[in-house]
């Protein structure tokens, strides 16, 4: 029997726990907790690809970069994305490798710094919405960035002024063949961190851009490309709910694409929260995928075994 492949998308926020500052020691400990149930899938014989968010981590890098701008050159967003892919990938791969060595598994783990192609004409570039980096007290502080680098700046909920960037849709994963080859050779892969580094095709040459690709959409695309058996989205809740946080809230065990569309039209899923996860799930299923599971990190193993989680089918 051929092994089953699971793409497991881990949220960046689950690597910095509530109430913590996000020190590297804290993040490493969070990785240990988060990856624990993914390791159980490896024990069950699954081929596993782990993707992860990087929002808080990129934010920290941009804040550090801005604070030190008079001492060292600032860090562009695409490079900050690459930094977090390397840093988080290193922590995740080390935690898994240590576990495998301890249990005498002769299995390799690899982190792939992944570029994801977006359309330079994507409408999102004309309407940037994702706040990134530090807050500024006045708009005047940013005049130079607005004029010379084309920054788009908004006032953020009375807390100050902040840069916003586009969130274009992912079209292709440049390293997909490498990832496929590694999986087929039973290597555990960490890839498409933070949705991947957004690049555009500029007259035949790839070029990084200041943007944020939704991690769940990029993970869905990867799951499609490698024909994964399971696309698992790890998030802050054990199950998806309709009428969330209301007296008539209902947890969903199983739903299909038609029901997803109905719940979306009824406004059950929040735009910056559950909606992109549901849309990414539907995309995977519409492109030939068979199984999507949405659940919390500690319930991943139980969910794959049908004991919990929300299961979405075609």
**For residue 123, is it within any domain?**
no
Spatial separation of the C-alpha atoms in residues 215 and 71, rounded to whole Å: 32
Residues 288 and 142 in one domain: no
* Cα-Cα-Cα-Cα dihedral sign, residues 251, 256, 258, 261: positive
**For residue 33, is it within any domain?**
yes
Domain boundary (109, 142, 165) is at 165
| pLDDT tier at 157, thresholds 50, 70, 90 | confident
Residues 144 and 264 in one domain: no
Residues 10 and 37 in one domain: yes
CATH of the domain at 286: 3.40.1160.10
pLDDT score for 1: 44
Active site residue 87: no
Q: Are 194 and 52 in contact (CB under 8 A)?
A: yes
Average pLDDT over residues 125-138: 92
Spatial separation of the C-alpha atoms in residues 275 and 287, rounded to whole Å: 18
> Which residues does 301 contact at the CB level (< 8 Å), separation at least 6?
37, 40, 41, 44
Average pLDDT over residues 58-73: 94
CA angle 43, 291, 182 (to 5 degrees): 50
Q: How many CB atoms lie under 10 A from the CB of residue 288?
A: 9
Active site residue 130: yes
Tokens matching residue 187? 């290597």
Residues 69 and 209 in one domain: yes
Residues 226 and 297 in one domain: yes
**For residue 261, is it within any domain?**
yes
Q: Per residue in 108-119, pLDDT tens?
A: 999 999 999 999
Q: Are 6 and 48 in contact (CB under 8 A)?
A: yes
pLDDT score for 213: 97
Quote the strand ranges of the chain, DSSP E: 5-10, 47-52, 109-111, 115-117, 130-136, 152-155, 161-165, 172-173, 188-190, 197-202, 205-208, 230-234, 241-242, 250-251, 254-256, 291-295, 310-313
Residues 150 and 186 in one domain: no
pLDDT score for 200: 98
Residues 154 and 84 in one domain: no
Residues 222 and 246 in one domain: yes
Q: Residue 234 pLDDT > 50, yes or no?
A: yes
Domain that holds residue 153: 128-165
Query: Which member of 3, 17, 130, 169 is catalytic?
Result: 130
Q: What are phi and psi of 307, to 5 degrees?
A: -90, -20
Q: Residue 156 pLDDT > 50, yes or no?
A: yes
Question: How many domains does the chain contain in total?
Answer: 2
Query: Which member of 81, 180, 195, 277 is catalytic?
Result: 277
Query: Which member of 3, 13, 22, 29 is catalytic?
Result: 13
Residues 52 and 139 in one domain: no
Q: Residue 2 pLDDT > 70, yes or no?
A: no
Query: Which member of 176, 180, 215, 283 is catalytic?
Result: 215
pTM above 0.85, yes or no: yes
Query: Which member of 11, 12, 193, 196 is catalytic?
Result: 12
Average pLDDT over residues 120-134: 94
Q: Residue 159 pLDDT > 90, yes or no?
A: no
Q: Per residue in 272-287, pLDDT tens?
A: 889 999 999 999 999 9
Residues 9 and 145 in one domain: no
pLDDT score for 15: 80
Average pLDDT over residues 119-148: 92
Active site residue 205: no
Q: Per residue in 170-227, pLDDT tens?
A: 999 999 999 999 999 999 999 999 999 999 999 999 999 999 999 999 999 999 999 9
SS3 label, residue 178:
helix
Spatial separation of the C-alpha atoms in residues 254 and 311, rounded to whole Å: 5
Q: Residue 47 pLDDT > 80, yes or no?
A: yes
Q: Are strands 130-136 and 161-165 parallel, antiparallel or unpaired?
A: antiparallel
Spatial separation of the C-alpha atoms in residues 153 and 163, rounded to whole Å: 4
Q: Per residue in 15-28, pLDDT tens?
A: 877 788 889 999 99
What's the N-to-C CA distance of the chain in angstroms?
Answer: 24
Residues 157 and 187 in one domain: no
**For residue 183, is it within any domain?**
yes
Supply the DSSP symbol for 262: H
Q: Residue 231 pLDDT > 80, yes or no?
A: yes
Share of the chain above pLDDT 90, in %: 83
Supply the DSSP symbol for 158: T
Q: What are phi and psi of 254, to 5 degrees?
A: -150, 140
Spatial separation of the C-alpha atoms in residues 222 and 8, rounded to whole Å: 11
Nearest by Cα to 264 from 251, 254, 278: 278
Q: Return mean pLDDT, the chain.
A: 94
Residues 283 and 208 in one domain: yes
């Amino acid at each position: 029997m051929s092994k089953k492949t699971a793409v497991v998308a881990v949220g960046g926020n689950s690597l910095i726990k509530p109430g913590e500052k996000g020190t590297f020691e804290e993040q490493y400990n969070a990785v240990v907790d988060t990856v624990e149930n993914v390791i159980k899938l490896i024990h069950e014989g699954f081929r596993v690809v782990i993707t992860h968010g990087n929002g808080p981590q990129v934010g920290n890098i941009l804040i550090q970069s801005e604070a030190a701008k008079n001492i060292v050159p600032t860090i562009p967003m695409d490079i900050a994305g690459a930094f977090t892919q390397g840093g988080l990938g290193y922590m995740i791969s080390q935690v898994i490798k240590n576990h495998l060595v301890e249990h005498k598994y002769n299995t390799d783990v690899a982190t792939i710094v992944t570029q994801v192609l977006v359309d330079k004409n994507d409408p999102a570039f004309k309407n940037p919405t994702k706040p990134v980096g530090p807050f500024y007290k006045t708009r005047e502080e940013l005049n130079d960035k607005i004029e010379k680098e084309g920054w788009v700046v908004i006032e953020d909920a009375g807390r100050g002024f902040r840069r916003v960037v586009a969130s274009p849709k992912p079209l292709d994963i440049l390293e997909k063949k490498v990832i496929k080859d590694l999986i087929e050779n039973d290597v555990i892969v960490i890839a498409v961190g933070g949705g991947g580094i957004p690049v555009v095709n500029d007259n035949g040459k790839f070029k990084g851009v200041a943007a944020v690709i939704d991690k769940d959409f990029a993970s869905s695309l990867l799951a499609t490309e490698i024909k994964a058996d399971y696309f698992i989205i790890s998030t802050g809740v054990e199950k998806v709910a309709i009428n969330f946080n209301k007296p008539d809230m209902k947890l969903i065990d199983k739903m299909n694409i038609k029901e997803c569309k109905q719940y979306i039209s009824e406004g059950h899923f929040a735009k910056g929260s559950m909606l992109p996860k549901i849309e990414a799930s539907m995309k995977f299923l519409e492109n030939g995928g068979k199984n999507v599971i949405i659940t919390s990190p500690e319930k991943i193993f139980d969910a794959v075994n049908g004991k919990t989680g929300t299961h979405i089918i075609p």
